[in-house]
Amino acid sequence: MKVVVDRSKCVSLGICEGLAPEIFVLNDEGELEVDDQADVDPADIELVRSAVSGCPVSALSVADD
């Protein structure tokens, strides 16, 4: 499973970072940083799903490999 970020929708509210700080980080410029090329660690899947469902602009999704 990989995190997919639609950068055209992301408005950097930071809700994902609050829900899953191990996965999502807003940098000093307020831009979301996430390694969307890496597989999500199985231990973090529920955190990622929580962040995806908590995104108010639907900028996040997951893709199965």
Please tell me the predicted confidence (pLDDT) of residue 36. Answer: 75
CA distance 39 to 63: 10
pLDDT tens for residues 2-46? Answer: 999 999 999 999 999 999 998 999 999 999 999 877 899 999 999
Pick the CATH number of 2-63 from 3.40.640.10, 3.40.950.10, 3.30.70.20, 3.30.450.20: 3.30.70.20
For residue 50, name the pLDDT band (cuts at 50, 70, 90): very high
Please tell me the predicted confidence (pLDDT) of residue 64. Answer: 86
Residue 65 has pLDDT above 90, yes or no: no
Q: Is the dihedral angle over the CA atoms 52, 27, 10, 18 positive or is it negative?
A: positive
Nearest alpha-carbon partner for 32 in 11, 56, 46: 11
Domain residues of the chain, as ranges? Answer: 2-63
pTM: 0.87
